[in-house]
Amino acid sequence: MPALISAIRDEDRRLRRTAVRVLGRIGNKAAVPVLSSALRDKHAAVRTSAAEALGAIGSAAAVPALQEALSDKSKHVRHKAQLALRNIGNLEKWNTQLPNYQSLTHRAVRGCRGERGKRRNEQLYQEVNL
C-alpha cells in the first residue's frame, strides 16, 4: 500500500485517480485518512473517485470528509459523496439535507491513458495483486 499512498501525491492527476480507485477496491479501512484527503484534490475527477472509494470501504470515519464534499463545486463529487453516505449508513442519521439529483451519466475512464499511463497502471495493479 505504500506505493499507492505515494501515488496519490503524484503530479499526474490520472495516476492519483487510479491509485484512489485501487485503494477503494482493496477496501482496507486504513486507507480512509488518505482517501479523505484526496477529497480535497484540485481535480474533480480525483475527488469523485475518492468519494466513490470511501463509499465502497464503508467506514464511518469518512463521514466528516464526505459531508464536507457535499458542498463541493463539482456536481459529480457531490453526487458520489451522497451515494457514499448512503452506503455507509442511514443518510438521515448524518443530518444531511440533499437535493434530488438527476441521474448522472459518466463516461467510463480506465485510469491513465497512453503508454506511460498503461505502465503505471500495470505497476500499481501488480503491487496489490489484482
The structure's pTM equals 0.69
pLDDT per residue over 83-113, tens digit each?
A: 999 988 745 454 444 443 333 223 223 344 5
Supply the DSSP symbol for 102.
P
So where are the chain's domains?
A: 2-127
Give the CATH number of domain 2-127.
Answer: 1.25.10.10
CB-based contacts of 81, cutoff 8 Å, min separation 6 = 39, 51, 66, 67, 69, 70, 72
**CB neighbourhood size of 44 (10 A):** 15
The answer to whether 46 touches 16, Cβ cutoff 8 Å, is yes
Report residue 42 as a C-alpha cell.
484540485
Q: Which contacts qualify for 8-11: CB closer than 8 Å, 24 or more apart?
A: 8/34, 8/37, 8/38
CB-based contacts of 68, cutoff 8 Å, min separation 6 = 39
The answer to whether 16 touches 112, Cβ cutoff 8 Å, is no
Kindly give the confidence (pLDDT) of every residue in the chain, 130 residues in length, as a single tens digit, with 9 standing for 90 and above: 888 888 998 999 999 999 999 999 999 999 999 999 999 999 999 999 999 999 999 999 999 999 999 999 999 999 999 999 998 874 545 444 444 333 322 322 334 455 666 565 565 555 444 3
Distances in whole angstroms, Cα of residue 91 to Cα of each of 17, 18, 22, 112: 26, 27, 25, 33
Report residue 47 as a C-alpha cell.
475527488
